[in-house]
């Protein structure tokens, strides 16, 4: 994206890859910790008002994501989601080595974030959730919508508004989709080892991940069709 400032790209791609990948891992850890921890907290606080759990969790997740993108995004791009990194690679905006490093850091961060929330809150994990294969469509729609907003913000070049646009959409995405919009392979991995409302049954992992991948590809096609390529007239 030379010559055109954009969100979700690092300010200095010459910065050592280990530094950039470390930020992706730390950011993903913090995001998944906030997501799963807020779910546990909401379930306890609103034990008699279960309808409040989802909106409270949605706001907490979006707030954490906006804060992390604003605080750390200039170092790594602030993805914290393998879908973003992989679509940038697919679009020729990121090389293979960087992509592998980012995705590995994100997945490790997600796993540790989910485990950390479980350890901090303690107690039994309770029944695992997830819709199984019927949830594939929900994750497809959730991921397509999220990636469309993310990459639309990239193409707009409005660097300051991007994180807030993504956070705002995420609140709606979580509430509006039947799976509560995991829309992130690192979150799915963390959800497998955590407790509380985001705790995901292993049987739901494959359909959720497949739905996310398909949704990301749908968004990629839409972005390539609706938006000019970077640097194009």
Q: Indicate the domain borders of the chain.
A: 17-226
- Which of these, 124, 135, 142, 148, lies nearest to 196 by C-alpha position? 124
Q: Is residue 1 predicted with pLDDT exceeding 70?
A: no
- Residue 48 in tokens: 């008699």
Spatial distance between the Cα atoms of 210 and 139, rounded to a whole number of angstroms? 8
pTM over 0.75: yes
Q: How confident is the model at residue 47 (pLDDT cuts 50, 70, 90)?
A: confident
Spatial distance between the Cα atoms of 79 and 33, rounded to a whole number of angstroms? 16
Spatial distance between the Cα atoms of 140 and 22, rounded to a whole number of angstroms? 28
CB count, 10 Å around CB of 23?
Answer: 26
- At the second CATH level, the architecture of 17-226 is Up-down Bundle (1.20)
For 38, half-sphere exposure in the C-beta direction (CA atoms, 13 angstrom radius) is: 20
What are residue 65's phi and psi, to 5 degrees?
-65, -45
pLDDT value of residue 7: 82
Tens of pLDDT along 164-205? Answer: 999 999 999 999 999 999 999 999 999 999 988 899 999 999
Q: In whole angstroms, what separates CA 39 from the centre of its chain?
A: 16
Tens of pLDDT along 15-45? Answer: 999 999 999 999 999 999 999 999 999 998 9
Distances from the Cα of 102 to the Cαs of 95, 97, 147, 227, in angstroms? 11, 9, 17, 25
Spatial distance between the Cα atoms of 172 and 59, rounded to a whole number of angstroms? 9
Spatial distance between the Cα atoms of 144 and 212, rounded to a whole number of angstroms? 8
**CA angle at 122 for the pair 120 and 128, rounded to the nearest 5°:** 110
Distances from the Cα of 54 to the Cαs of 161, 163, 206, in angstroms? 25, 21, 23
pLDDT value of residue 126: 63
Please, what is the average pLDDT of the chain? Answer: 90
What are residue 102's phi and psi, to 5 degrees?
-65, -50
Q: Is residue 208 predicted with pLDDT exceeding 60?
A: yes
* Sequence-separated (6 or more) residues with CB below 8 Å from residue 71: none
Spatial distance between the Cα atoms of 129 and 100, rounded to a whole number of angstroms? 30
């Amino acid at each position: 994206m030379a010559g055109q400032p954009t969100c979700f790209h690092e300010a200095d791609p010459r910065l050592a890859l280990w530094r950039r990948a470390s930020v992706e891992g730390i950011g993903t850890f913090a995001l998944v910790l906030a997501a799963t921890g807020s779910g546990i907290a909401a379930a306890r606080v609103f034990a008699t008002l279960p309808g409040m759990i989802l909106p409270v969790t949605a706001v907490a997740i979006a707030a954490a994501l906006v804060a992390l993108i604003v605080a750390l995004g200039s170092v790594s791009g602030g993805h914290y989601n393998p879908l973003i990194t992989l679509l940038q690679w697919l679009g020729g905006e990121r090389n293979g080595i960087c992509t592998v490093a980012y995705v590995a850091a994100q997945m490790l961060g997600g796993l540790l974030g989910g485990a950390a929330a479980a350890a901090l809150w303690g107690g039994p994990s309770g029944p695992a959730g997830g819709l199984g294969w019927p949830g594939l469509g929900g994750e497809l729609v959730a991921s397509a919508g999220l990636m469309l907003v993310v990459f639309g913000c990239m193409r707009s070049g409005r660097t300051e508004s991007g994180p807030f646009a993504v956070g705002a959409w995420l609140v709606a995405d979580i509430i509006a989709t039947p799976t509560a919009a995991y829309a992130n392979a690192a979150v799915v991995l963390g959800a497998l080892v955590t407790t509380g409302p985001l705790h995901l049954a292993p049987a739901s992992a494959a359909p959720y991940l497949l739905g996310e991948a398909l949704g990301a590809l749908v968004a990629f096609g839409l972005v390539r069709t609706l938006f000019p390529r970077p640097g194009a007239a």
